[in-house]
């Protein structure tokens, strides 16, 4: 592996998971959009429960690709218990397993002003039907 690939950042998208495989489609679309936007940047999608890979598996995959800095982006609308309590513990285990990687935890995407604005726009369009 060359130095350029080892210094390249990665993204670990983290979603809740569900028993219904169709539930994951929007999250897979987000991952695919990132891959298309930045083809050289490794992107992994991990789940809290019911689906695979879990956070550890997704993180292991990025580590195997030589990432040294990974942004963990919770694909949650708000920072409830899973984001505030469960995710930090899972991330601590990932940090312990891969201490050579800088794991940066982003806020839940639903707390970003752009996401709030996009949801309001969609609601507004439906209200005008």
Calpha distance 66→47 (Å, rounded): 21
Query: Strand order in 69-74's β-sheet?
Result: 43-47, 10-15, 69-74, 102-105
Domain boundaries, the chain: 3-127
Give pLDDT, residue 5: 45
Residue 83's pLDDT band, with cuts at 50, 70 and 90, is very high
Give pLDDT, residue 1: 44
Helix axes 55-64, 87-97, angle to 10 degrees: 30
CATH code for the domain defined by 3-127 = 3.40.50.1400
Calpha distance 70→106 (Å, rounded): 10
Task: Give the H or E element holding residue 47.
Answer: strand 43-47
**Antiparallel, parallel or unpaired: β 69-74 and 43-47:** unpaired
Q: Give pLDDT tens digits for 40-66.
A: 999 999 999 999 999 999 999 999 999
Calpha distance 34→60 (Å, rounded): 19
């Amino acid at each position: 592996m060359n130095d350029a690939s080892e210094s390249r950042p990665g993204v670990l998208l983290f979603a809740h998971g569900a028993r219904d495989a169709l539930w994951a489609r929007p999250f897979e679309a987000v991952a695919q959009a990132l891959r298309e936007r930045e083809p050289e940047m490794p992107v992994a999608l991990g789940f809290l429960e019911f689906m695979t890979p879990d956070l550890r598996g997704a993180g292991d995959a990025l580590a195997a690709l030589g990432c040294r800095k990974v942004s963990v982006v919770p694909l949650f609308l708000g920072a409830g218990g899973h984001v505030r309590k469960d995710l930090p513990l899972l991330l601590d285990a990932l940090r312990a397993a891969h201490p050579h990687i800088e794991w940066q935890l982003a806020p839940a995407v639903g707390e970003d002003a752009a996401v709030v604005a996009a949801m309001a726009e969609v609601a507004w369009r439906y209200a005008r039907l």
